[in-house]
Homo-oligomer: A and B are copies of this chain.
Amino acid sequence: MTINVLLYPNFTVLDAFGPVEVLGSLPGREMRYLSPDGGIVRSGQGVPVETEVMETMAPGGVLLIPGGMGSRPLAKDEAFLARLKALAEQADYVLCVCTGSALLARTGLLDGRRATSNKTAFDWVRSCGPDVLWQRQARWVADGKYYTSAGVSAGTDMALGFVRDLFGAEEAETICRRMEYHWNRDADNDIF
């Protein structure tokens, strides 16, 4: 299984690399780091990550979309959104963290589906997908091939939940133990 991580300027570092820690632990996985233009992309915390152009993604696998302040300009960029829609349609699964779900919502692919996002930007995210069935109170939501999580660290909980759904609880618990992670195992338990 290939894990395709879509980065962009001003992504939130833990949105991407919490799930990467989890999914990167899967046996036999391949990791790819992509972005709209390729080259070095800096997170909101200035982490410079080398990426390849997003269209080099092969069909299938997982597409991971982090949130971050950089999602605001991209949510208005129709050319980018068309490219994102094409990739999301080709992926077997799409995992969005935080305001990453706003970007996916703007493609229309979440219309009529249940989804969530982080709390502080919730109204803006909702405006990005008026026909999405937004769940305000959720740590993460799975609907078909689309997984969406609440803010930042909720993405790590969701990634473990995704591993549990696909590969079973034992695999998820093994990864959780190795990470010495306090996993919020219940997708509906949202204290924020």
Query: Which listed residue (B13, B24, B154, B184) contacts A24, Cβ 8 A?
Result: B13
Q: How many copies does the complex hold?
A: 2
By a CB distance below 8 angstroms, the chain B residues around A12 are: 21
Q: Is A192 interfacial (CB-CB < 8 Å)?
A: yes
Closest Cβ of chain B: how far from A172's Cβ, in Å? 14
8 Å CB contact of A33 from B47, B150, B181: B47
- Majority-rule SS of A interface residues: loop
Q: Is the CB of B180 within 8 A of A150?
A: yes
1/0 per residue, CB under 8 A from B, across A136-180: the answer is: 000000000000001111101000000000000000000001111
Task: Point out the residue from B13, B50, B119, B179 that lies within 8 Å of A151, measured CB to CB.
Answer: B179
Known: A20-B47, A21-B152, A24-B46. A191 touches B181 (CB 8 A): no
Task: Give complex CA distance A42, B81 in Å.
Answer: 29
Q: Are B192 and A177 in contact (CB under 8 A)?
A: yes
Residue A118 interfacial (CB < 8 Å): yes
With a CB–CB cut-off of 8 A, which chain B residues contact A44?
24
Tell me which residues across on chain B come within 8 A of A182, comparing CB atoms.
153, 182, 184, 191
25 pairs of residues in contact across A and B, judged by CB atoms under 8 Å: A12-B21, A13-B17, A13-B24, A14-B17, A14-B20, A14-B156, A17-B47, A20-B45, A21-B45, A21-B152, A24-B44, A24-B46, A31-B46, A33-B48, A48-B49, A49-B50, A119-B180, A120-B178, A151-B178, A152-B180, A152-B181, A153-B156, A153-B179, A153-B181, A177-B192
